[in-house]
Each structure stands twice: as structure tokens, then as C-alpha cells.
Structure 1
Amino acid sequence: MSFGDQNNPYGAPQQAPGYGYPQQPQGAQPGQPYAAYPQGQGGYAGAPQGPQVMPGVTKAARIMLYAIAAVHVIVAGLCVAAVAAISDAKKTHGGGSVTTAQGDTVDADTVFDAGKGVFAFLAALAVIFAILGIILAVRYAKGGNGVRVGSIVYAAFGIISGLVCIIFYGIGILGLILSILVIVFAAKQASNEWFRRPRF
């Protein structure tokens, strides 16, 4: 009588491979726990990996966002100074009339008030733009792909703002150049990978 005979009804039960208890992988020590899936450096194998440190081009785009915000703070200050200068001019030369290029006569106070309104609007717009730039730059550390897209859109408006602020000479040109560089750096593949990296 052989216990190894599979047709022997009294022999030890045979267990087909693949059934019953899970099989230990090759090389595993008996009695030691093992992972069901092989693990990589950042988790289970096959999980998408991303950069753990902010790439240089992304850091550069972030710094430039802060610089653009600073430019708009300066522009806001210049606009406020222009409003103050127009107010002083109104006190000195107000009450008269101004002849336009078309030969029409306009009340001087109306012209001064219109000028103050334009520069006050530009000052408020510059402050809002500066705040948005700071918010985007702060969110570079933990923000998702929406921050990258927002930066590109923000910089596109920054180009328009730079062209409008060209009246302030170097300030407008500086804002224009910085905005173009933000678009270039934020559109880089390294920046794309940074904002699309998995967050655990």
C-alpha cells in the first residue's frame, strides 16, 4: 500500500497546485509575510510616479509670477501718483475749458475727472492682478494642473497688461518679458509632470 497512490482511498489527500492556501512566491521564506504585489520606490509597481522636488523651470516660473505681481504693485503706485497729480492740476487749472482736436470745447473739470477715473481704474486692476499672481505662485507647491493652466492664462493677460503699461517705459516692458517667460516655463514637460504628479 502506497500513500503516494492517488487512486488509494486511504492515502493522504493530494492538493492540486493553485487551490487552497496561497502559494509563496519563489525565494520567499516559509512563515514570512509577503506583499501581494511588488512594491516600487513610491508604492505598488505600475503606480504613476512624478518628480518629488520642484523642477528648476517650474521654480523659475514661480519666481517670475512673484516678479510680475511686484511689477503690478509698482504700476498701481504710479497710477495712484497720477491720480494725485491730476487732482493737483485740477485745483490749479480747474474751472476753465479745454479745446479738443476736433475744435470742441469741453469743461476742464470734466477732463480732469475722466483722467482721474481712468488711472484709478488702472490702479485697482493692477492691485487685483498682483493678488492673483501671488495666489498662483503660492499654490505652486501643492496645486494641481489647474495652477499651471491658470499661470499660462494669467501670463497671457500679463502680456496685454505689459503692452498697456508701456506708457511707464521699463515697467511695462519688464512685465511683458516676464509674462512670456512664465508661459514658456509653465508649458514645459517638467512643469506638466510636476503639477500632474500623484499626491498620497
Structure 2
Amino acid sequence: MSYPPDPNNPYGQPPAAPGYGYPQQAPPAAPGYGYPQQAAPGYGYPQAAPGYGYPPMAAPQSMPGLVVTARVLLFVVGGVQVLLTAFLLIVAAGARTVANQHSTSSDTAIFGNAAAGVLLILGIVYLLASVLSITLGVKFGKGGPATRITTIVYGSVALLLGVFVLIGAITGSTQAQAQTAGSGFGVVIGVLWIAICIIWIVAMSTRDGVNWFNRPRY
């Protein structure tokens, strides 16, 4: 019959040292030795750097192509409007001269004065439109969101007027039962004007256009 060794007996058998006889549980390995540890951020595995990739609002370094096209069209339309202003004012002056050569109570004088007044108002409208077109085109280089919004409003109003012109030209040609030269010219002008207005609106509404006018200025 065996008895367990007395720990107070100096002559007894010393207890077995850990690691002999029976397998002991291995102590946890120190970080970095024996077992691979999770790589610390910035070491071993590349980390995604914040702020890189595809920024949602990247500021363009140069004016986008569609914005350049809209700017050129603004200058062209502004120049045409200046020519139309000069033409209308000249015709209005001629109508007023013809009216002054007749008695104020005659039909010719009444019609001449009315025509001169209408042509004068149209000339002033075209003059203001030309100033707005050219001013917007100039501000495309350094203008901000206000320039973009003004161009959208200007293009929308002009688009509505172009639709009216196109409808009037198509209606006139239908009532005449034939495609006359005047109605065909009106249809071409209406379609061309609508296309220009759509380019203005689209150029100001695309992401490149928004980023261009929202870019930081120093």
C-alpha cells in the first residue's frame, strides 16, 4: 500500500518537475514568436489610404469639354443677338420715318408707328439677351454656382420660347397645306435653338459641370 509523499519529509521523493512524465499545457506564445499574429495596421499588409481612389467631388483642372461647348454657343448666340438688335433698330427707325411722312390720322402713319414701337421693344429685348449671353460666357472662367444656375434658368426660358417658335412654324405650314420657304426656315430655327438650349442645360447639370463651378478658387 503506497502513501502519497509527505511534502515536509526532507528524505522523500521530490515532486516531478513540470514538463516530465505528463505533457503540460504550453504557455501562450509571446507576440511575434512561434505563431503568426495579426499584422498591425501599416505593417505587412497594405492598408487603404483614406482620401484616395475616386473622390466624389474631384475638382477638374481644366474646363470640361461640354462646358467649353456651352460657352462657345453663348458667345455665338450673343453675337447673333447683337446683329438682330441692330437690324430691328434700323427697321424700326425706317418705319418711324415712313410714318412721319404721312398724316398722323392716316392708316400708314398708324401702322408705321405701331410697327416701329414693336420693333423697338424687340430690339431692346434682344440687346438685353445678348448682354446676358456674353456675360455668362465670360463668367464661365471664374464664375461659381450662381453662374451655373443663371445659365440653367436662361436656357430653360429660351427652350420654352424655342418650343413656341417650332410649334408656330409647324402649325403655319400645316394650315398652308404646303411647306413654304418661310415655315421651313422657322422649323429649322426652332429645332436649332432647342438643341442649343438643351446643350446649355445639360452642360450645367452634368457632374463635370457642377464640379467645375463648385471648384475651390484661390
TM range (shorter): 0.5 to 0.7
Where do residues 52-91 of structure 1 align in structure 2 (5 Å cutoff)? 52-91=61-100
Which runs of 5 or more residues in structure 2 are unaligned?
Answer: 1-41, 44-48, 170-181
Where do residues 181-200 of structure 1 align in structure 2 (5 Å cutoff)? 181-200=199-218
In the alignment, what sits opposite 1:180? 198
Residues 134 and 181 from structure 1, CA distance in 2 versus in 1: closer, same or farther, beyond 3 angstroms? same
Checking the alignment, whether the CA contact within 8 Å between 2:57 and 2:211 is kept in structure 1 is no
Give 1:140 deviation, angstroms. Answer: 0.7
Render the CA deviation track for 1:47-91: whole Å, top value 9, x for unaligned: 963111111011111111111211211221221132133124324
Runs of 4+ deviating beyond 4 Å: 38-41, 91-96, 160-172
Q: Which has the higher strand share?
A: 1
Which runs of 5 or more residues in structure 1 are unaligned?
Answer: 1-25, 28-37, 99-107
In the alignment, what sits opposite 2:135? 135
SS in 2 for 1:112: helix
In the alignment, what sits opposite 1:101? none
SS in 1 for 2:91: helix
Render the CA deviation track for 1:142-174: whole Å, top value 9, x for unaligned: 111111111111122323555569899569544
Checking the alignment, whether the CA contact within 8 Å between 2:95 and 2:115 is kept in structure 1 is yes
Residues 198 and 69 from structure 1, CA distance in 2 versus in 1: closer, same or farther, beyond 3 angstroms? same
**C-alpha distance in structure 2 between counterparts of 1:89 and 1:198, whole Å:** 57
**C-alpha distance in structure 2 between counterparts of 1:172 and 1:89, whole Å:** 30
**C-alpha distance in structure 2 between counterparts of 1:143 and 1:177, whole Å:** 24
**C-alpha distance in structure 2 between counterparts of 1:190 and 1:183, whole Å:** 13
Residues 161 and 76 from structure 1, CA distance in 2 versus in 1: closer, same or farther, beyond 3 angstroms? farther
Checking the alignment, whether the CA contact within 8 Å between 2:151 and 2:200 is kept in structure 1 is yes
Q: Which amino acid aligns with 1:157?
A: V
**C-alpha distance in structure 2 between counterparts of 1:75 and 1:86, whole Å:** 16
Specify the structure having the higher radius of gyration (Cα): 2
Higher relative contact order (CA 8 A, sep 6+): 1
Q: Which of the numbers 50, 59, 64 marks the counterpart of 1:50?
A: 59
Where do residues 137-152 of structure 1 align in structure 2 (5 Å cutoff)? 137-152=137-152
The alignment's C-alpha RMSD in Å is 3.4
Give 1:188 deviation, angstroms. Answer: 1.7
